[in-house]
Structure 1
Amino acid sequence: MQADLDAYFEHLRSERQVSPHTLDGYRRDLIKATAYCQEQHLAGWAELKSTHVRQLIAEQHRQGQSSRSLARLLSSLRGLYRYLNQEGRCAHDPAVGISAPKGEKRLPRLLDTDRAMQLLDGGVEDDFIGHRDQAILELFYSSGLRLAELVGLNLDQLDLSARLVHVHGKGNKERVLPIGRKALEALQTWLPLRALSNPADRAVFVSQQGRRLGARAVQLRVRQAGVRELGQHLHPHMLRHSFASHILESSQDLRSVQELLGHADIGTTQIYTHLDFQHLAKVYDQAHPRARRKQDSEQ
């Protein structure tokens, strides 16, 4: 069994080119499966049956493993058996059709509207980093982008005249999102400063050396903004959650929020329905606290 695992890990490393972090996850999961097989006196992976897998999952569940961890264990087993079947070492997949026990759905952590305004209306340093970071925060909250979507954003995905951003989400699916007025203003201030760094590519958000900002750099800047303006931990996904919740509070339109977030399954979006709905709004400008147009008297 260990020889099969070693060959599989080498396949993942050299042919699939998975990251070391992902490889470590597979290894931890499959070590658990190997230990179980040894306890059951199974001589090889071909002897592992669906009944064994169910028993393994049940045992891990009793030991306190989370639903997410058990789902990952099942996924690791399926990956192993796909490889073993391709190599002619097995002709079945004992994990097929087996699901992890459902865990409690934790409500997402988010900012209420007042805290979001406190964050975004704080003082902005009048320099390259200050205006860049403000544009990042505003765009996260304005349009509900995932971290990877914001980091991968290029100039040709912005349509500032139409107040739209074209996002390549999970599975490379594209969705078109509105940009709120405040986010638009922040981007219009940031982009001329961006050009001064002689950017190496078309990335919207770059360092002072002109290189595309990575995910960790953006996480760090968001965290620092949270400490500075709110005195609390803050991460990009919290701004995405806040975006979704505040839109849903105002619009009561779950399907539209699903489209804005890019969720394939509306069940994923339904986690936000714990909120007390307050007002009905039909369009984005009316629904989003940072996107409302100025009153005619202000223009």
Structure 2
Amino acid sequence: MQAQLDAYCNYLRTERQSSPSTVGAYGRDLGKLITLCEPAGVLQWQQLTTAQLRRLVARLHQHGQAPRSLARLLSSVRSLYRWLNREGLCDHNPAIGLSAPKAERKLPKVLDTDRAQQLLDGAVEEDFLGRRNHAVLELFYSSGLRLSELSGLDVDALDLNAGLVQVLGKGSKQRVVPVGRKAQEAIRQWLPYRSTARPTDAALFVSQQGRRLGPRAIQVMLQKAGASELGQHLHPHMLRHSFASHLLESSQDLRAVQEMLGHADITTTQIYTHLDFQHLASVYDKAHPRARRGTKEKEG
């Protein structure tokens, strides 16, 4: 098995011209599989069956192997067997139809409403950077935009009188999103400062040199705001997540939140229902008399 694996890795290097890191990853994954096969009596790639491979993957999962790593392993196995089949060294592919265990979906980190207000209601410097950065924060939280969407906004995408912004989202899909009253006011106060930079294009948010503010510059600005106002790490998606969580908590309208976020599939938006349930469970634990009594009993 090792000799054929070595030949496969050589094929990746010479014919496929794969990077050293890719070849190394394939070699490690498949080498690990060989060490599991030998105790099971599998001494040739031809002998490995789908049922055996499924059991080996399950064993790795039980021993703490992450689902993402198992998915990569199965991908390596499928690729190896395609090569073995082409070389006439094997006549089946045991990884076909197998999938790794699903990874537990991590809940996004959000600011609670008090922390969001703390971030946005602080004193604003009456200068170019102060007004621009405040407008960026307000619009992120008001409209739940992605980083790329906010960076790509042009002035004419805004209708401040109607309280709307037209956004170009993923897949070049356009959507119209509400802009809250405080965000409207922050943008109105920013626009005169924007003009002083003599912008090179129609970008809504620009640098002091008049160039469109790029995603990296916005990320750095948010990190500084999080450190100074909240004493914590802050990134653009945290404001987007906070927008969605707080809106869903108040409205219970999952479809509306889906539309505003620009999610093609509502299952993507449903992650925020779990955040809402977490909030409800926390309120219950703190407020319900039976929950409080149970806590005291445990403490006793």
TM-score by length of 2: 0.70
Call closer, same or farther: CA 1:115–1:99 in 2, change over 3 Å.
Answer: same
Match of 1:285 in 2: none
The structure number with the bigger radius of gyration is 2
Contact 1:37–1:48, Cα closer than 8 Å, also in 2:
no
Q: Secondary structure at the match of 1:167?
A: strand
Q: Secondary structure of 1:201's partner?
A: coil
2:9 aligns with one of 2, 14, 17: 2
> Which structure 2 residues correspond to residues 134-213 of structure 1 after superposition, within 5 A?
134-213=134-213
Query: Residue 236 of structure 1: CA displacement?
Result: 1.3
Q: What's the secondary structure of 1:175's corresponding residue?
A: strand
Quickly say closer, same or farther: Cα 1:34–1:73, change in 2 above 3 A: closer
Which amino acid in the other structure matches residue 252 of structure 1? Q
Alpha carbons of structure 1 residues 250 and 67: separation in structure 2 relative to 1, 3 Å? same
Aligned-partner Cα distance in 2 for 1:214–1:47: 54
Instruction: Please list the CA deviations of residues 181-222 of structure 1 after superposition, one character each: whole Å capped at 9, or x if unmatched.
Output: 111111222233223223333332222222332322212211
Counterparts of 1:73 and 1:135, CA distance in 2: 46
Q: Is the Cα contact below 8 Å between 1:33 and 1:56 reproduced in 2?
A: no
Question: 1:8, 1:57 → 2: CA distance?
Answer: 29
Aligned partners of 2:30 and 2:77 also within 8 Å = no
Task: Answer with 68-77 or 161-170: which moved more.
Answer: 68-77
**1:55-83 CA distance string (max 9 Å, x none):** 674455345343345456667888x69xx
SS of the aligned residue for 1:183 comes to: helix
* Count of aligned positions: 260
Task: Supply the distance in 1 between the matched residues of 2:47 and 2:202 (Cα, whole angstroms).
Answer: 53
Percent identical pairs in the alignment equals 57
Q: Distance between the aligned counterparts of 1:215 and 1:8, measured in 2?
A: 38
Residue equivalent to 2:111: 111
Q: Is the 8 A contact 2:9 2:27 kept in 1?
A: no
SS in 2 for 1:240: helix
Partner residue in 2 for 1:30: 26
Distance (whole Å) between structure 2 residues aligned to residue 125 and residue 264 of structure 1: 39
Q: What is the one-letter code of the residue matched to 1:197?
A: A
What is the DSSP-based 3-state SS (H/G/I as helix, E as strand, rest coil) of the residue aligned with 2:270? Answer: helix
Report how far residue 8 of structure 1 moved.
8.0
**Once the 2 structures are TM-superposed, how far is the Cα of residue 172 of structure 1 from its aligned partner?**
2.6
SS of 2:176's partner is strand
Contact 1:263 1:269 in 2 (8 A): yes
Measure how far apart 1:256 and its partner are: 1.2
Deviation at 1:251, TM superposition (A): 0.7
| Partner residue in 2 for 1:267 | 267
Unaligned runs of 5+ in 1: 14-22, 279-299
Between 50-59 and 248-257, report the one with greater CA deviation: 50-59
Q: Is the 1:128–1:193 Cα contact (8 Å) retained in structure 2?
A: yes
- Whole-angstrom distance in 2 between the partners of 1:257 and 1:192: 32
Local SS of the residue matching 1:205: coil
Larger CA deviation: 106-115 vs 63-72: 63-72
CA distance in 2, matches of 1:138, 1:147: 13
Distance in 2 between residues matched to 1:28 and 1:150, nearest whole Å? 39
Partners of 1:95 and 1:192 in 2: how far apart? 61
What amino acid maps onto 2:108 in structure 1? Answer: P
How far the C-alpha of 1:156 sits from its partner, in A, is: 3.8
* Structure 1 vs Structure 2 CA RMSD: 3.6
- For 2:220, the aligned partner's letter is L
Instruction: Assess, with a 3 A threshold, how the Cα gap between structure 1 residues 115 and 5 changes in structure 2: closer, same or farther.
Output: same
User: Are 1:29 and 1:73, in contact at CA under 8 Å, matched by a contact in 2?
Assistant: no
Structure with higher helix content: 2
| Aligned 1:57-76 pairs, distance under 5 A | 57-58=57-58, 60-71=60-71
AA aligned to 2:26 is L
Q: Residue 217 of structure 1 corresponds to which residue in structure 2?
A: 217
Give the match's secondary structure for 1:233.
coil
Cα offset, 1:120, TM superposition: 0.5
In structure 1, C-alpha distance between the alignment counterparts of 2:186 and 2:223, rounded to whole Å: 19
